[in-house]
Structure 1
Amino acid sequence: MNLHQYTKEFSYNLKLAYPIILGMLGHTLIGIVDNIMVGKLGATELAAVSLGNSFIYVAISLGIGFSTAITPIIAQADAEKDTLKIRSAFHHGLFLCAILGFTLFGVIVLAKPLMYYMGQPEEVIVLAKPYIDWVAFSLIPLVVYQGYKQFADGLSMTKYSMYAIIMANVVHVILNYFLIYGIWIFPKMGIIGAALGTVISRLMMLAFMHLILSKNKKLTAYFQNFSFQEIKKTMLKKIVSLGLPSALQMFFEVALFTSAIWLSGSLGKNSQAANQIALSLASATFMFAMGLSVTAMIRVSNQKGLKDYKKLIIVARSIFLLAIIIEIIFAICFVLFHQYLPHLFLNMEKNALVIDNEEVITIASQLLIVAAVFQISDGLQVVVLGALRGLQDVKIPMYITFAAYWVVGFPISYYLGKHTDLKATGIWIGLLAGLTVAAVFLYIRFNYLTKKSIKDADTAVETAI
């Protein structure tokens, strides 16, 4: 293997990926800011936000997963220089994202009673219910924003979403500070203040994204003369056929991590708070792999449009290698600092909370050791998934992810968490097992498809001759 042919792609990969990574980190940072600020109020409040967000993250996974169908269609059309197809994919994608946003809002609000059947502490449920109502509403602007984002990503214009997220996070931090603690003229609203901060920042993020894209002269043609008469069944079916399996792929993984939150909650509020701390940190590092996953989707789609399958393999493998290197670095950091990182989320100065917080830190530090190991598996599976989406292969990966997470991962999490002394650590060992199986089989699928594409292309050339 000539390593240089892969490493020389690193600079372009990173140039395309870093705005996406910062944008993804921005989404995660909104949750982390909520956790850090709410964690200062106590373990019960932190557990309530954790429980509430477990519902929201499932919905977000469906929204983001579905919207990713827009990017490969646009990226392939961009390589083919087909502006009509780009416009059609954008308008149809935005239309579907708006419908999905309202649907997810309604479903999450109606799903609140499920909390009573999950063995969660009563005081946690009482706090979580009103928090869910507000944050569920923020799903509408968030999913519509995703329609704009995936459109821009498909055109390799990845910086716009980064600008929107940075703006949203600045607004979010300021609003949270004033509304959670009751600073200046604002009332002290606790976790409801955190929810309101999220709603307002996401509404502003959507407005900002629309303005910045619509004012770009290169994109003017895509924003003019929108009409519902342009909506056609063929493009709707194409986006849905790619978007639905993609949404389910992301849902299966997020649902696995959500089940870890619920299993941890059934062990007690301290286990749940510890799980949320470890999950917040692991989610932040995972965003680097998510950014590279989108990069893989864009670049593989471009090469598919150009029908250059040999270059496609080099590009994809360069991204896989880069993801593994980055995740190994994060894994080392988690091992070195596993006893220190949980302190960022808790107030150790309140005497009434010291005993609870010490237990939370002990559990969270153990979870971070397991998280360090699955960084590599998690990073690899998501970038390979991005490459497969670039190939517009979504159905078989959907089955692979379901089997990996729910036939392998969840049973291990449940058994080790509920029936052994490993408890919360056992839950995370199950996550590691599921992610590793997904990474291996997704790569086998990618390898099979790319070899087949090259063989088919060579056969077509020979036939033509």
Structure 2
Amino acid sequence: MREILAELRRLAVLAVPLALTQLGNMMLGIVDMLMLGRVGREALDAAALGNLWGYAVLTIGMGVVLGCDPYIAQAHGAGDGRALGLTVQRGVVLALLVSVPVMLLWTLGGPALVLLGQAPHLAAEAHDYLLAQLPGAPAVLLYVAMRSYLQGRGITGPALLVMILANVVNVGLNYVLIFGALGLPALGAVGAGISTGVVRVVMAAGLAWLIVRGELHAGAWVPWSRAALDRAALAAIAGVGLGIAFQLGLELWAFQAAMLFAGWLGDAPLAAYTIVLNVASCSFMLPVGIGMAAVTRVGNLLGSDRPREAERAAWVALSLGAGVMFAAAALMYGLRHELPALFDADPEVYALAVVSIPVTAAFQVFDGVQVVGFGVLRAMGRTRQAALVNFVGYYAVALPLAYWLAFERGHGITGLWWGLTVGLALVATALLAWIAARGPSTAGKISLEQR
């Protein structure tokens, strides 16, 4: 018991600032939705659809960069500073490379949303919202690479500090650009997009400045050289990253596909779905932080040849994820009337959101278990298995069931949420079974050939 409590403390020290950082990242979008909700339903829906396409694409780029995670965590555990430095440099290279297709696909957002059955006037506004964010694409990917570098070394404060600053900047810029101030016109959703792009540049620049100014790269850095462009090493990181990309993407796309279904139900269901998704996403940031802590902790232990301790850390993290989400579920249910009111929605949207929140509360524990489980697999470098689990859980079960309940059985937006709940339950169960059979105690170290 003493060892379990000690591990719990170590995970909590890592997880709390990571969760707060992720919550801060989520708040950037929440603030956009809160402020655009005061502009009108059309602005809210346009931003929601723009984010649907934007994050669907960006998630793949982020996943590729996150392929650095197990290499960084295990190199730190092994005390290999040279490997750490080279890995983050290669992460930066990959971030710049993948930002090109991300930006190109963002320019196709409007036509893509029309092909996906969304209203042309909303798709056009969503398109402009995405174009306003283009400069932020490479910046957010560079930020991810640097955050992973620090996270793998157990350094969590700088990313949290940058996120707090980003939220302050975002509120000010949103006010000026969305509603019009300081002599500037009111730009609505496009103003929110400009603000998002600027904030992402501030985040990347701020984190880079803190790393250099605080010498946080000391002992884990090498001068830039051609080794950062080593094709075999870049391919190895990208190979792990693609597994992460599809694991993250398949989950995100499932919730976004359900958003498209909500759009087919009408403007009010789409706005209500967006509100409830934002509420659920806030609580989701808690186990996301725990999952990131599991990547670091399990990866560090595997890198230092302590697989049994890594196994214990994995199960403590899974238990912690389930526990915090049980509390989140109770809180969401208790505040089911108050939470939608924060978005200042019209009565129809508010009513739909209120009846949906109890369903989302039902899947909180499953959501906590699955995201921490994916963190454990990422620490082990077993990312393709995670993608397979998500594909089956969401696309063979969750989405077909959600469509059937919403349209064939006439349950509307609550049918969408019940379908997703069943899928999450299956994904969480499969991950627990996988980790029980082939967890960290069966895994070996992974490494890149350094040149």
Q: TM-score, normalised by structure 2?
A: 0.95
Query: 2:244, 2:383 within 8 Å by CA — same for their partners in 1?
Result: yes
1:307 matched residue in structure 2: 305
Q: Tell me how large the CA RMSD over aligned residues is.
A: 1.8
Q: 1:126, CA displacement in angstroms?
A: 3.1
1:46 paired with 2:35, answer no
- Post-superposition Cα deviations, 1:368-409, rounded to whole Å, max 9, x if no partner, equal 111101111111001011011111111222111111111111
1:290 paired with 2:288, answer yes
Measure the CA separation in 2 of the matches of 1:185 and 1:336: 43
Structure 2 counterpart SS, 1:217: coil
- Post-superposition Cα deviations, 1:75-113, rounded to whole Å, max 9, x if no partner, equal 111111111111111111110011112221111212431
1:360 matched residue in structure 2: 349
Measure the CA separation in 2 of the matches of 1:71 and 1:394: 11
Gaps of 5+ in 1: 348-356, 458-465
1:79 matched residue in structure 2: 77
The partner residue of 2:407 within 411, 418, 432 is 418
Deviates more, 1:61-70 or 1:413-422: 61-70
Q: 1:136, CA displacement in angstroms?
A: 4.2
1:399 paired with 2:392, answer no
Q: 1:452, CA displacement in angstroms?
A: 6.3
- Post-superposition Cα deviations, 1:386-433, rounded to whole Å, max 9, x if no partner, equal 011111111222111111111111111111122122111101111111
Measure the CA separation in 1 of the matches of 2:44 and 2:133: 15
Deviates more, 1:51-60 or 1:204-213: 51-60
Measure the CA separation in 2 of the matches of 1:278 and 1:366: 10
1:31 paired with 2:20, answer no
1:373 paired with 2:362, answer yes
Measure the CA separation in 2 of the matches of 1:242 and 1:83: 21
Structure 1 counterpart SS, 2:337: coil
Measure the CA separation in 2 of the matches of 1:124 and 1:419: 26
Structure 2 counterpart SS, 1:119: coil
Identical-residue share of aligned pairs (%): 28
Measure the CA separation in 1 of the matches of 2:216 and 2:182: 44
2:239 matched residue in structure 1: 241
CA separation of 1:99 and 1:420: change in aligned 2, threshold 3 A: same
Higher gyration radius (CA): 1
2:170 matched residue in structure 1: 172
CA separation of 1:358 and 1:167: change in aligned 2, threshold 3 A: same
- Post-superposition Cα deviations, 1:183-209, rounded to whole Å, max 9, x if no partner, equal 232221111111111111111111111
State the AA in 2 paired with 1:85: A
The partner residue of 1:433 within 415, 422, 425 is 422
Structure 1 counterpart SS, 2:426: helix
Deviates more, 1:169-178 or 1:441-450: 441-450
CA separation of 1:157 and 1:117: change in aligned 2, threshold 3 A: same
Structure 1 counterpart SS, 2:48: helix
State the AA in 1 paired with 2:59: S
Q: 1:21, CA displacement in angstroms?
A: 1.0
1:185 matched residue in structure 2: 183
Q: 1:451, CA displacement in angstroms?
A: 7.6
In the TM superposition, 1:199-214 aligns within 5 A as: 199-214=197-212
Query: 2:70, 2:378 within 8 Å by CA — same for their partners in 1?
Result: yes
Query: 1:56, 1:136 within 8 Å by CA — same for their partners in 2?
Result: no
1:124 matched residue in structure 2: 122
Measure the CA separation in 2 of the matches of 1:410 and 1:426: 10
1:354 matched residue in structure 2: none
CA separation of 1:341 and 1:95: change in aligned 2, threshold 3 A: same
- Post-superposition Cα deviations, 1:103-133, rounded to whole Å, max 9, x if no partner, equal 2111121243121123323332232221121
Q: 1:213, CA displacement in angstroms?
A: 0.7
Q: 1:440, CA displacement in angstroms?
A: 0.7
Gaps of 5+ in 2: 446-451
Query: 1:121, 1:268 within 8 Å by CA — same for their partners in 2?
Result: no
1:462 matched residue in structure 2: none
Q: 1:60, CA displacement in angstroms?
A: 3.0
